[in-house]
Amino acid sequence: MRFCLIVALALSSIAALAEPSEVEQKITEAMSSESRPEADVIRDWDRSPLETLTFLRLQDDMRVLELLPGGGWYTRILAPVLRENGELYVAIATDNVSQNLVSEPGFDHVEVVDIGVGMERTGPFRTNFIPPFEFGLSEIDMALTFRNMHNFTPEGRANINAAVFKALKSGGYYGVVDHSRRHMEPMTDENRRRADVVQIMKEVLAAGFEFVDYSDIHYRPDDELRYEVGRKTVTGNTDRFSLLFRKP
């Protein structure tokens, strides 16, 4: 009898672990939305948004700030998840999202933040500098940036990190995902769209953040970490680091 009870409890525990959380269900539903472009859906297999956002501790009632949203790949997933209980802000290089996405049905609640300064492509290998600025937000629960920090000079990244630190609430999360470059390898035209994970960690910690976690979700053992991420033989298979920090 006791053995049967133990087995039953074990099976119920396994079933509970396998049951997706409410936010995981919302992420999955957002990924399955008919409004997502086919080109976005094709990238799900290598960007693993469900696993990535789960690792980053996303909850559906958070106030989230997405930096450099680009074409809105992650915006199209974050917005539906946060629509009912949370808020989504996008900032820095938001032209594509503001002109093409927020006018679509279901995205009218996405708030585009004007930081009042622009990027200057004055760094080595066409990297961007951005002067000190503020988001004009406070008590944000989470800030996220996906494959963007490599585009900036160290000074530019420092200004971004400082602005994020000020906008976050105490205990708020800062998630950073980017293409991996070999540690301490000099920047070249070939690897300029990659970032040294150790350097990125040191810069974020220097801004006052605490390190929370690292994930190998995007570990790619056959990426040699040396070639341009846009090469046909590399695109979609770049090794990327996923870092999570917290404001004390």
- Per-residue pLDDT at 2: 52
- Per-residue pLDDT at 157: 98
Query: Which domain, by its residues, includes 102?
Result: 29-246
9 falls within a domain = no
- Per-residue pLDDT at 10: 45
Element (H, E) at 30: helix 22-31
Phi, psi for residue 214 in degrees, rounded to 5: -130, 145
6 falls within a domain = no
Query: In the chain, how long is the greatest CA-to-CA distance?
Result: 74
Strand ranges (DSSP E) for the chain? Answer: 63-67, 87-91, 111-113, 140-146, 168-181, 195-196, 210-215, 240-246
The closest of 44, 152, 31 to 92, measured between CA atoms, is 152
Written as tens digits, the pLDDT of the chain (248 aa) is 454 444 444 445 444 556 899 999 999 999 999 999 999 999 999 999 999 999 999 999 999 999 999 999 999 999 999 999 999 999 999 999 999 999 999 999 999 999 999 999 999 999 999 999 999 999 999 999 999 999 999 999 999 999 999 999 999 999 999 999 999 999 999 999 999 999 999 999 999 999 999 999 999 999 999 999 999 989 989 999 999 999 99
175 falls within a domain = yes
15 falls within a domain = no
State how beta strands 240-246 and 168-181 pair: antiparallel
Count structural domains, the chain.
Answer: 1
- Per-residue pLDDT at 8: 45
Residues paired with 90 in a beta bridge: 66, 112
122 falls within a domain = yes
4 falls within a domain = no
1 falls within a domain = no
Tell me the HSE value of 119 on the side-chain side, using a 13 A CA sphere.
19
164 falls within a domain = yes
| pTM (two decimals) | 0.92
Q: Which CATH number fits the domain that encloses residue 75? A: 3.40.50.150
- Give the ranges where 168-219 is alpha helix by DSSP (H): 197-206
Structure tokens, 156: 């530019």
